[in-house]
Chain A
Amino acid sequence: MNMEFDSEYYDSFLEAMEKYEIPEGAFPFAGEGLQGVEEMFFGFTMFLIS
């Protein structure tokens, strides 16, 4: 069974860094602000079907 989550509608951390053209040196600073909201949106989605 596949345990890894993937979706056209979800950006992983590295996908987000690429999508928003974040320079690699800025990853540690941009990650929380960008990926954190992506993860919150995922959590919100799952609540909506719960």
Chain B
Amino acid sequence: MELNQETLKKNELFENLFDGKMPERVPVFVSGDNAFCLEYAGFDLLKEQYSIEKNIEAIDITTRNFNSDLCFGSLIRIPHLYKILGAKNFVPGTDGFIQHPEINALNEDEYDEFIKDPYKTLWDKVLPRLYTELGKGGFAAQKATTKAFFAFYATMGQMGTASAEIANKYGKTIYTMASTACAVPYDSLADQLRSFTGISKDIRRIPEKVEAACEALLPLSIKAGIIPNSNRYNRTFIPLHMGPYMREKDFLRFYWPTFKAFVEALDAAGVGVNIFVEQDWMRYLDYLNELPKGCFFLFEYGDPKIIKEKVGKKHIISGLYPLGILKTESEQRCIDKAKELIDVLAPDGNYMFSLDKSLLRLKDVNVNNLKAVLNFVQEYGKY
């Protein structure tokens, strides 16, 4: 695909930022979940979310209508894939939106075998519990695995191609938030294997096993975080989950060592990281600052001034714009908030504008407010 001049210019905006140079303006990195895009386009999640064609059509519409610098939409949770597998970890609600219930797929007495060979244990124990079709064994499981494997790569391939084509069609950057994605080891262990409540007990009852399990997961995380096209611009997305819910001494012992080693390994391989700093990480800013230079941090909560001062010289700051006010406040108030953040975070570069949370549903915002803010930032963010 030959990239048009506007797309090349937008790419340069991000490349400069990731290279530590001053871009000509603040890049605008706002996008929506495919559910938002489908609803904005007038489609019904209960029906059209199963169609790749409709998802692409919806993302084309949002990319055209919202003045962001990247393709405005992505499909992360693939509805038909979860149906094929009989997923328990991602299930559609009554309105079709896919929810993630708390789940525990690795038992406490299975830590030892998991530590010995996590990849094997995932297939022997974990995945059959997360996905009912895999739990049936025999032909049913083999068929479901084959269908899901094909559906996953066919869908990702179609969506990846479409995303780049839509970006190029509307003069947006072809770079995305996630060239690939992987959680840090502790979060991988917590999210779907031991659950929030399970791991919170484990760190008190069997701390050595939690440490060993995180270390066992580290090589998998590194491997998953580096794909053939990974580099400083095609970056790996890392969503952080459990840190803010831990005591600092537990964070230091269980979360931080493999988190740091994971990011350092990606950096050593020349791969940039886009880290979603979920919840409030103010008490951990000094740790984040220890990570290799040039990490991109999308903060959910925190004091912008302190974040800029502590982390913004070494790393790229983003997020912090409260999505919630786009629904509840006036257009002027929404614009004022954007101005306030840019005034604090944009000086000297290392800043990209984005919201504090994922834009999941149409009802999350007043779209006119969002459009007004995006238009404002495109102009006001010029250096």
Interface extent on A, as a size class? 20 to 34
Near A by CB (< 8 A), chain B positions 272-302 give none
Q: Are A5 and B220 interface neighbours, CB within 8 A?
A: yes
User: Contact mask A1-45 → B, CB, 8 Å, 1/0?
Assistant: 111111111100000000000000000000000000000111111
Assess the B149–A6 pair: CB atoms within 8 A: no
A-chain residues with CB within 8 Å of residue B257 when the two chains form the complex = 1
B115 to chain A, nearest CB (A): 11
A20 to B265, CA, bound (A): 31
Which residues does chain B contribute within 8 Å of A2, judged by CB atoms? 215, 218-219
B149–A41 CB distance below 8 A: yes
Q: Is B352 an interface residue (CB 8 A)?
A: no
B227 within 8 A of A: yes
Q: Is the CB of A3 within 8 A of B122?
A: no
Identify which of A8, A40, A48 contacts B117 (C-beta below 8 A): A8
Q: Which one of B119, B153, B183 contacts A40 once the chains associate, using CB atoms below 8 Å?
A: B153
Interface stretch among B188-196, B202-210, B246-254, B304-312?
B188-196
Q: Knowing that A46-B224, A49-B130 touch, tell me 7 more A-B residue pairs with CB under 8 angstroms.
A: A3-B219, A5-B219, A40-B149, A43-B224, A45-B122, A48-B131, A49-B188
Which 8 residue pairs of A and B lie closest in terms of their CB atoms, listed nearest first? A7-B119, A5-B219, A46-B224, A9-B120, A5-B223, A8-B120, A7-B117, A9-B119
Chain B residues at the A interface, C-beta cutoff of 8 Å: 85, 117-120, 122-123, 126-127, 130-131, 148-149, 152-153, 180-183, 188, 191-193, 215, 218-220, 222-224, 227, 257-258, 261, 265
